[in-house]
Amino acid sequence: MTVYTTMSSPLGELVLAGERAPAGTVLSALSVAGSGSAVVVGTQWARDDAAFASVRDQLDAYFAGERTRFEVDYAVGGSEFRRRVWQALDEIPYGRTTTYGRIAERIGAPRAAVRAVGAAIGANPVLIVRPCHRVIGANGSLTGYAGGLAGKRRLLELEHGTVARQPSSVAALPPCDGRPVRTDVPMYQL
């Protein structure tokens, strides 16, 4: 049976959905309510706040700057290509960024597969927990995010301890895989 809950966050209301399993609830979706890719709660779904208590606690701790990794069981689904891309996302450390091209290289895909990598990242059903917000453009600019570019910027700033300052360039962000991040490319303004 599909269960869901909602919770407040710095990005707005989050919708969490999952499937009940013998060992607990397996997270299958986490999205920002009202965004273009938000989970639509099904008529047969049951609200079950308790089923997501651990995930909610971990998200609260993340937003408070007290957690850098999640310990959540989530559904893996998707094609073999998507699963490889998503595994690469799971390996991006907290407070770091990388590019679509670097993800393509990491999974052994040709450079020409960057758009397919972007599509797989865009299909990530569990925002925040699977850190697709840590992927930026090759020139250091912010690019698409299912939770909105303002949300992506907020998450990156949170991870870099700059939420209060709200910098106007990527200068405050650490380099991608050791390469310097361009500081002459403006980021999305909140």
7-31 per-position pLDDT tens digit:
999 999 999 999 998 888 999 999 9
Residues 93 and 151 both lie in one domain: yes
Let me know if 132 is a catalytic residue: yes
Residue 163, pLDDT score: 55
Which residue shows structure tokens 């079950």?
48
110-124 per-position pLDDT tens digit:
988 999 999 999 999
Residues 149 and 87 both lie in one domain: yes
Q: Return the bridge partners of 17, or none.
A: 4, 29
Residues 55 and 84 both lie in one domain: no
**DSSP states of 130-177:** S-GGGEE-TTS-----TT-HHHHHHHHHHHTT-TTT--SBGGGSPPBT
Percent of the chain, pLDDT > 90?
A: 72
Mean of per-residue pLDDT scores for the chain? 86
| CA neighbor of 2 nearest in space, from 37, 36, 51 | 51
| Residue 139 CB contacts under 8 Å (≥ 6 apart), including other chains | 182, 185
135 within some domain: yes
32 within some domain: yes
Alpha-carbon distance values, 104 to 19, 101, 108, 111, 149 (Å): 31, 5, 6, 6, 22
Instruction: With a cut of 80, say whether residue 172 has pLDDT above it.
Output: no
Contact 37, 61 (CB under 8 A): no
Q: Which residue has the higher pLDDT, 24 or 135?
A: 135
178 within some domain: no
Instruction: With a cut of 70, say whether residue 187 has pLDDT above it.
Output: no
CATH of the domain at 108: 1.10.10.10
Residues 156 and 86 both lie in one domain: yes
CATH of the domain at 18: 3.30.160
Q: Within 10 Å of residue 86's Cβ, how many Cβ atoms?
A: 24
Looking at 64, 88, 118, the residue that finishes a domain is: 64
Residue 23, pLDDT score: 85
Residue 91, pLDDT score: 95
109 within some domain: yes
Looking at 19, 36, 64, the residue that finishes a domain is: 64
d(CA 175, CA 32): 27
170 within some domain: no
Residues 98 and 45 both lie in one domain: no
Catalytic residue among 38, 120, 132, 187: 132
173 within some domain: no
41 within some domain: yes
Tokens at 62, concatenated = 């993340």
Contact 24, 73 (CB under 8 A): yes
Tokens at 78, concatenated = 């998707």
Residues 17 and 48 both lie in one domain: yes
168 within some domain: no
The shares of helix, strand and coil residues in the chain, as percent rounded to the nearest 5, are 35, 20, 50
Per the structure, how many domains does the chain have? 2
Residue 111, pLDDT score: 84
Structural domain of 132: 80-160
Looking at 34, 64, 94, the residue that finishes a domain is: 64
Residues 95 and 32 both lie in one domain: no
Instruction: With a cut of 50, say whether residue 85 has pLDDT above it.
Output: yes
Contact 5, 49 (CB under 8 A): yes
